[in-house]
């Protein structure tokens, strides 16, 4: 049911909670989407949110639990006994969602919760999934899937699909395995209903199935599903045994989380922080890069002070220090951002490092020529700061060299970090800006000394 969640609606919920009017509360929220219920809970005090949530049961309660912000969910689960978590919430979840929730609990409580699960096969699946790294394909996959044996006929497959489908919300693909449960191919439901019931599926399934190993990083999962336009991806172990599947909704979450992480890195924020985090957590995430920026500023001051005699001979050089530093930083960030974006989408792997640098060099030379020509024309026409032609040529030549260098530096650093298996997003934002500011100033001063 589509409900507008506004102040009036929230005030009504609060009033019913104060009155302990459980029946009317349930009448209002039971038909809401789980995301909307979680949104309502975020606006309430913790005690009121907990009271509202405990009114929910079964599938609705488990669906809402997944939508609650992680920090709030951790605090909420910490107050509940293991038996309640297992039988009122975990047992109603798909295995991938259940593992996400269990992963937020201490290890001893995880084992206690699993021990209270009545379905032993489901409990075993959870125990196995918890052994995988949370950022790997195994850590984000769900054990629920539909699989049939390559030796069955169509009639047997249809019966088995009907039985297995009871625990699955959406059937995207039917996977074909051999007697050792090794993935052999994929079968469409369309083909199953097109062929006679006695047809052996070994003759009709597609053998060119795309899969991924349990140890693959989750970024690789997202790249593969995007590249091949898949809505579900089977996961196998190193020997080819079918272990689970990853669906498109999980990949959307991965893409969003990676985008948020890269955006924070570009902004000079380390770690995953939100506005609702504590002052200490936010400060801890922001301070390191600000300290690096401070050190960079001090180094820039040393560069200027080390060339004081050049500034004494031609003091008007100081007018263009901000311009040189700003252009160096901006050009470097542009170059590094393009490279990081390409690396994230996987398109940079199609070209060698030397090829990328040569292409960037061509772009840098054109951009540098245009910018240097404009600043030269400006200085020659307006005689900025009563400067002579010597300063005009110095600023123009310095800007040309700085732009070319900053472009190549901004391209090379993220490629190098990626080669070293370090997140290339670290190369953007404050790092590139600070380094190029310092190097830009150094180039400006050296050229000024040489020409004067």
Q: CATH number for the domain including 231?
A: 3.10.580.10
- Domain membership of residue 317 (yes or no) is yes
In a domain, 123, yes or no: yes
Domain that holds residue 128: 7-140
Q: What is the dihedral of CA 152, 157, 163, 169, to 10 degrees?
A: 130
In a domain, 404, yes or no: yes
- Domain membership of residue 273 (yes or no) is no
Task: Give tens-digit pLDDT for 196-235.
Answer: 989 999 989 999 899 999 999 988 898 898 888 888 999 9
- pLDDT of 61: 87
Q: Are residues 440 and 299 in the same domain?
A: yes
Q: What is the pLDDT of residues 382-392, one digit of tens each?
A: 776 555 687 88
Q: Do both 325 and 426 map to the same domain?
A: yes
Residue 135's pLDDT band (boundaries 50, 70, 90)?
Answer: confident
Specify if 262 maps to a domain: no
Same domain, 308 and 445: yes
Count of domains forming the chain:
3
Rounded average pLDDT over 81-104: 89
Shared domain for 349 and 372, answered yes or no, is: yes
Closest CA to 79 of 56, 47, 107, 108: 47
Check residue 45 and give its pLDDT.
Answer: 85
CATH of residue 435's domain is 1.10.357.20
Q: What is the pLDDT of residue 76?
A: 82
**Helix crossing, 218-227 with 321-345: angle to 10°?**
70
**What are 3-22's pLDDT values in tens digits?**
667 788 888 899 999 988 88
Beta bridge partners of 136: 217
Strands 232-236 and 212-213, bridge-based pairing: parallel
386 inside domain: yes
Say if CB 317 and CB 310 are below 8 A apart.
yes
Of the candidates 108, 140, 172, which is a domain's last residue?
140
Q: Cβ distance 336 to 414 under 8 Å?
A: yes
Domain boundary among 118, 140, 162: 140
Are 132 and 66 in the same domain? Answer: yes
Same domain, 175 and 45: no
Do 338 and 417 belong to one domain? Answer: yes
Final residue before a domain boundary, out of 140, 157, 179: 140
**CATH of residue 125:** 1.25.60.10
Q: Is residue 246 part of a domain?
A: yes
d(CA 447, CA 449): 5
Q: Same structural domain for residues 248 and 126?
A: no
Q: What is the pLDDT of residue 350?
A: 47
> Residues 131, 69: one domain?
yes
Q: Would the pLDDT of 26 be above 60?
A: yes
With respect to residue 80, please indicate whether it lies within any of the assigned structural domains.
yes
DSSP alpha helices (H): ranges in 130-199?
137-140, 154-164, 189-194
Same domain, 87 and 199: no
Strand pairing class (232-236; 242-247): antiparallel
pLDDT, position 330? 85
Instruction: Give the gyration radius of the chain's Cα atoms.
Output: 30
pTM for this model (two decimals) = 0.68
Q: In this structure, are 305 and 413 located in the same domain?
A: yes
pLDDT above 80 for 269: no
Are 372 and 433 part of one and the same domain? yes
Least confident of 111-125, 253-267, 359-373: 253-267
Provide the 3-class DSSP secondary structure of residue 138: helix
Long-range residue pairs from 226-231, CB within 8 A, at least 24 positions apart, any chain? 226/251, 226/345, 227/346, 231/172
């Amino acid at each position: 049911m589509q409900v507008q969640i506004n102040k009036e609606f929230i005030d009504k919920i609060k009033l019913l909670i104060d009155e302990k009017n459980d029946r009317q509360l349930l009448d209002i929220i039971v038909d809401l989407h789980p995301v909307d219920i979680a949104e309502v809970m975020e606006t309430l005090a913790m005690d009121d949110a907990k009271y509202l949530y405990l009114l929910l049961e079964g599938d609705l309660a488990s669906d809402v639990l997944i939508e609650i912000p992680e920090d709030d969910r951790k605090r909420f689960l910490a107050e509940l006994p293991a038996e309640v978590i297992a039988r009122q919430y975990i047992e109603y979840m798909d295995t991938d969602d259940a593992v996400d929730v269990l992963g937020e609990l201490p290890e001893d409580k995880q084992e206690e919760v699993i021990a209270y699960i009545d379905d032993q096969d489901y409990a075993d699946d959870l125990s196995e999934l918890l052994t995988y790294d949370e950022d790997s394909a195994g850590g984000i996959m769900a054990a629920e899937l539909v699989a049939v044996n390559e030796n069955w006929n169509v009639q047997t497959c249809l019966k088995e699909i009907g039985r297995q489908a009871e625990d699955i919300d959406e059937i995207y693909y039917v996977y074909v395995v051999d007697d050792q449960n090794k993935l052999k191919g994929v079968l469409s439901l369309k083909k199953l209903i097109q062929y006679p019931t006695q047809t052996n599926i070994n003759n009709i399934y597609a053998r060119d199935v795309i899969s991924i190993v349990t140890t693959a990083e989750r970024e690789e999962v997202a790249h593969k599903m995007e590249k091949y336009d898949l809505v579900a991806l089977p996961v196998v172990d190193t020997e080819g045994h079918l272990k689970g599947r990853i669906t498109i909704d999980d990949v959307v979450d991965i893409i969003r989380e990676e985008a948020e992480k890269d955006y924070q890195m570009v902004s000079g924020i380390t770690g995953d922080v939100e506005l609702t985090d504590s002052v200490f957590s936010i400060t801890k995430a922001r301070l390191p890069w600000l300290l690096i920026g401070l050190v960079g500023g001090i180094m820039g001051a040393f560069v200027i002070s080390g060339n004081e005699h050049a500034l004494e001979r031609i003091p008007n050089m100081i007018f263009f220090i901000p311009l040189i530093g700003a252009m160096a930083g901006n050009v470097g960030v542009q170059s590094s951002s393009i490279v990081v974006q390409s690396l994230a989408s996987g398109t940079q792997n199609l070209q060698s490092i030397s090829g990328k640098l040569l292409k960037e060099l061509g772009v840098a030379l054109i951009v540098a020529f245009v910018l240097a020509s404009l600043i030269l024309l400006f200085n020659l026409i307006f005689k900025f700061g009563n400067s002579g032609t010597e300063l005009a040529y110095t600023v123009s030549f310095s800007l040309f060299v700085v732009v070319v260098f900053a472009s190549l530096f901004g391209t090379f650093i993220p490629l190098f970090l990626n080669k070293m298996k370090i997140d290339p997003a670290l190369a953007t934002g404050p790092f590139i800006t600070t380094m190029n500011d310092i190097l830009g100033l150094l180039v400006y001063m050296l050229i000024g000394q040489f020409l004067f």
